[in-house]
Every structure is written in C-alpha cells, then in structure tokens.
Structure 1
C-alpha cells in the first residue's frame, strides 16, 4: 500500500461516532493517520472505529468520554498516548445543539448551559490535555469545527451561537499563544452538511443546498497536512474556501477573525 500524506500521524477526533466527526476520522485514517475517536456513547463509537479500521487498514481506537468532564478527558488522552503515541492532530468536533427553537428566556437553563459548555469547556479541556506535548515537540495542529452561527446572533439557537462564538475566540487566543512554536490552530466551519443533527433542526426542515461532506474533509485534511498554516487562528468555511485557492497568507491581519465593527471613522473604539 502506498504511503499516505498523514502516515505516522496520530489524530484525535471528538464526536467521532457519527456525522461529520465520523467522516473526518475515516478520511484521516484513509490518509495514513492512526486515529482515536472520542464520543460519549461507547457502543456506537466502538462500531464506527472498528469499521474505519477495517476499511482503511489504519489503527483506529474508540475512547468513550464526555468532553466536558476533566477527569474523563485526561484519562482518554492518556490512553490515546499510551496506545498510539503523542497526538499530532486534535479535531474538536463534539458539541450539542439547543433542544428547542425558543428565545433565551424560554430555554431550559441546564440544557442551554450544557450546549455552551460542550463548545467551550470541551475544546479547552482537550487543548489543555493535548497541546503542551505538541509545544514540547515543536509540531502539531488543532482544528476546531466552527460555525457561521458563531459570527452572528441566532436568537432561536442562542446557546449554540454563544458556544460557537466562544469557541472561535478560544481558537484565536490559542493560535496567538502558539506563535513561533510550530503548532497551529484553525477554525473550520463545515457549513450546512446534512447530518442527524441538522436533520433534526426545524430551521433547516426545507433546506436543500447542503454543503458536500467532501468539502469539509478536504479542508480539514489540508490543515492536518500543513497546507493552511498561514491561516492559523482564522475562520475558514468548507464549500466556499478551498485549500488550493486560498492565498498563502491573509492580506489583512484581522481577516476572518471576530472583531467589533466601528460605526464610522470617528468611532472611539475603532
């Protein structure tokens, strides 16, 4: 079998039992990476990773854990390192969605917070468990699955909107902290991919223009392979941005980052 572009790499993908996470785990394994899939539900995750390993011939292990549980995350990462080796690529994909399309005040308080936590605390815990070893080795990449809903207020999905905005800012802060270390971090939004999650959202009931999953795979794999390092800390959108068509470096230092827009040239916060 010819060598793949990610031969020798160890990838950890959260939310890997279904949807985009499963597709990414399969694509990374097909490119030669040894893949650890992480999700809460052990049974479905075990089946997914077994199928990925059989189909690709790459090592693929299932590690059941809740990304919002610090002890579970630390134990999961320790197991991945023990069985596969130090993580070269972390893909933060796991996350919840609002249970109902209602305004903030009408949402279930605990479920609302669980959604926000899954998109901010989860990635932060994985980052704290994985990135120090990347920095020590002088190489590694973190891909956070972002969303356009994090760049604007979405009142009917306020928890998801807030969580994704926080996650985007977290990636920006991470990338800035990593400058000069050889480790890079990216916000990659998949757009609207037809999955179990989007299919259950009333907002998209009649939607027909879905993003092809292959576009998400191509962009994430390009980041994993080091072809997008100039875009570290920035927002990329699958199906709109393509690795081969992006300039090597953004012209504007604040391009594709969350920023407060001024009301005009005399705005004192501009």
Structure 2
C-alpha cells in the first residue's frame, strides 16, 4: 500500500463509496476532509476514520450545489488542514422513480443533474486555483458506466455523468502545461445503499471491491497515472499495473462520435 501525503477532500463522504475513499486515503497517510450535507452522520463517519487510522480528519457540512456553502467549506479545509492536494467529486443523487424521462418529476430530475454537474463545477472552481498557485494537485470526478451509454430509467443520472466527463476533459485541457490534472474514475458496481436501491442491480452479486476504487484514486494522488488525465478509467475492469504501463494517445477513453463509415464527413 503506497504511502501518501497531503490533504484530500472527498464529497459525499459519510456513506457509500465516499466513506470507503475517506478511510482508504487516510490509511495511506493523507489528512482527509469529508464533505456532506448531513452533519451528524458525517461527523460520526470522520471520527470513526480518525480512530481507525490515526489520521487527521475534518467533517465539513455543505451543500455541493450552493456556491457560498462550497466556498466556505473549502476555506475551512484550507484553514484547518492546509491546501487541497486531491479533490474527489463523489457526491450526487440518483433518479428516484426509475421511469422514462417524460414520466419523471422535473424537479427531482434536475436535482440529480445539478448535484453532479453543479457540484463538480463549484468544487473544482473553488479548489483548482489554489492547486495552480502551488502547481500541484489532482482532481477526480467519479464517473459511471452511464457516462458512456444511456439508461432509459436513469436519464438524469446518465446526463449528469456524461456531462461530468466533459467537465473533466475541459478541465484537463485547460490545465495542460501545469502539474494539476483531472481524471474520470468509474467505481464499477460497489455494494452501497445507492446501488442496492436501484432495480437494475437487484439480485446482483458480482460487486466491485471498494478497495479497487481506492487503489486507483490513490495511484492518481501519487502521480502514477498522469498520462490518463482527461480520460476514463474503471475500477474492477482496469488492471492498475496495466494503467501504469500504458500511455494513451489521441482520443482514447474519451467521449467521441464514431463515424458511420469511411465516407462520414465527421469521421
């Protein structure tokens, strides 16, 4: 297990994948700030991690879709722990009704999109300038298989995760020439309360071990996967040693149109 240093900020930290990431990064030596909306559960989770790992932790209550809340939270992390070296944008909602978009509640549908996209945007906007000042930092946006293909029952989640991939690529392109980089990491199908609530995973047993998600993100934090900046990786499918050895070129692992044939003018 590689030793890490610096400060990590993980959103959606009180449960599920975020909770696993907080503990895994803390166990590797990082000081970890966890951000979530529910103060009581978040504080309990961060205290448990501190007790288990001996690491410095900080519970920061904030709504990722609220600009003032995000900016205050990032300022608190900087004051209490120091500048953020690793930002993991993990927070986000899922379609509650699991129905085609014309049957979806418009407000809940838009809340799902906002939680991922506005959340990822606001956190990156608040953290990345400080990374650039130090010319050091990594941003991870938690992607999904639905980033690359639509699901009719989860249209909001599909739209949100696809948009987040575009945000990652835009950010990575803007950061070229610096030692600040951005990545998409899909966690696979981790056994969490969210995945358990989705009918598409009912009866599913081939769960992705959360430690595999932690390992990829820890490798990113260590600077081992820098050639993958702006690209998509998937825990549970991608072999970490292979990722370390491969230097992807062109538009590999990025969202692009596929030409319909040799005569496609957009090919």
TM range (shorter): over 0.9
* 1:189-200 matched pairs, under 5 angstroms: 189-200=186-197
* 1:103-122 matched pairs, under 5 angstroms: 103-122=100-119
TM-score (norm: length of structure 2): 0.98
CA contact (8 A) 1:219 1:242 kept: no
Residue 167 of structure 1 is aligned with which of 164, 169, 176?
Answer: 164
The separation in 2 between residues aligned to 1:171 and 1:152, in whole angstroms, is 17
**Aligned residue pairs: how many?**
267
The separation in 1 between residues aligned to 2:131 and 2:249, in whole angstroms, is 28
Residue 243 of structure 2 is matched in structure 1 by 246
Residue 18 of structure 1 is aligned with which of 12, 15, 20?
Answer: 15
CA contact (8 A) 1:40 1:64 kept: yes
The separation in 1 between residues aligned to 2:248 and 2:65, in whole angstroms, is 37
The separation in 2 between residues aligned to 1:249 and 1:76, in whole angstroms, is 37
Any idea what SS the aligned residue of 2:153 has? helix
Residue 205 of structure 2 is matched in structure 1 by 208
Please state if 1:53 is matched with 2:74.
no
Residue 129 of structure 1 is matched in structure 2 by 126
Residue 43 of structure 1 is matched in structure 2 by 40
CA contact (8 A) 1:227 1:243 kept: no
CA contact (8 A) 2:24 2:211 kept: no
With over 3 angstroms needed to count, the CA separation of the structure-2 counterparts of 1:177 and 1:111, relative to structure 1, is same
* 1:225-236 matched pairs, under 5 angstroms: 225-236=222-233
Deviation at 1:144, TM superposition (A): 0.7
Unaligned runs of 5+ in 1: none
CA contact (8 A) 1:15 1:37 kept: yes
Deviations 1:45-64 (A, max 9, x none): 00000011111111101001
The separation in 2 between residues aligned to 1:174 and 1:218, in whole angstroms, is 23
Unaligned runs of 5+ in 2: none
The alignment's C-alpha RMSD in Å is 1.2
Q: Which runs of 4+ in 1 moved over 4 A?
A: none
Residue 77 of structure 1 is matched in structure 2 by 74
Deviation at 1:251, TM superposition (A): 4.1
